[in-house]
Amino acid sequence: MLKKLFSFTVATGLIFGLFSSSPSIASAGEKKGTGKCSITITTDNTYNNKAQATGLCKGYIYGYYVSGQFVVDGSYTGEVVNGQKITFFLPPFVSDYENYELTVKTVVKKSQWNQHQNQHNQNRKWKNRQSQAKHQSQHNQNRKWKNHQSQHKSQIKQQVKIKLKSQIKQQSKVKLKSQIKQQSKIKHKSQIEQQIKIKQQVKVKRQGKIKQVQHQKMTVMNPKLLLT
């Protein structure tokens, strides 16, 4: 562990000393302007026979021709066309410029023009197919998403309908139950009142009969009452 820590400390010190002792790196914050350079790429420049950039960019930018396309590699990598200008950065010790602008020139040799044009057309067709496939894929995804949204909306609507129907049914049950209960109470009350009325009528009749019987008894016992 101590050995690793010592090695890390030494390496850090060396890196710090290298940066602090280099005038170019120390003055990196003072860099200004844009350095200009160019590169000419022909159809004869293959991957093993790359074109070199000029000026300060030499050794940092290369160019070659492959499959109907002109390409630069190095500090910047990508396909290029004739007249294109590229802005990029180089290591700070190269110069005092802040960044660099590379002007690209491409040349198609006459003997290779037909081949280049055919390859270029094939590449364009391939890119068009790729673009169409990407567009179709995006269109399909959008359509699937819309269908999913529509299905989801339909499901929610159906759930709301079911819930509302259930609530209405439940409310109807409660209302019906309440009505039946109320009617039952009214009917029960009416029956009780009817029974009370009947009992009262029976009681009145009974009392009348009792009075009649009593009167007859008294008449038998006292015939004079008949005269009265």
Among 77-81, 110-114, 124-128, which range has the highest average pLDDT?
77-81
**Exposed, middle or buried: residue 69 (CB in 10 Å: 0-12, 13-18, 19+)?**
middle
Mean pLDDT within 160-186:
87
Please write the tens of the pLDDT for every residue from 7-26. Answer: 544 444 444 444 444 444 43
Mean pLDDT, the chain, whole residue set? 80
Residue 19 confidence (pLDDT): 41
Token digits of residue 210: 């009792």
> Is pTM, for the whole model, over 0.85?
no
| C-beta of residue 69 within 8 angstroms of C-beta of residue 123 | yes
| C-beta of residue 76 within 8 angstroms of C-beta of residue 61 | yes
Helix (H, G, I), strand (E, B) or coil at 107: strand
Stated length of the chain: 228
Question: In this prediction, what percent of the chain has a pLDDT beyond 70?
Answer: 82
Please write the tens of the pLDDT for every residue from 13-68. Answer: 444 444 444 444 434 457 789 999 999 999 999 999 999 999 999 999 999 999 88
pLDDT band at 220 (very low <50, low <70, confident <90, very high): confident
Cα distance between residue 92 and residue 59, in whole Å: 15
Among 115-119, 136-140, 178-182, which range has the highest average pLDDT?
178-182
Q: Which residues contact 72 (CB under 8 A, 6 or more apart)?
A: 39, 41, 61, 62, 63, 78, 80, 86, 102, 104
CA geometry: angle at 192 spanning 190 and 198, to 5°?
A: 100
The residue assigned the tokens 């009617």 is 183
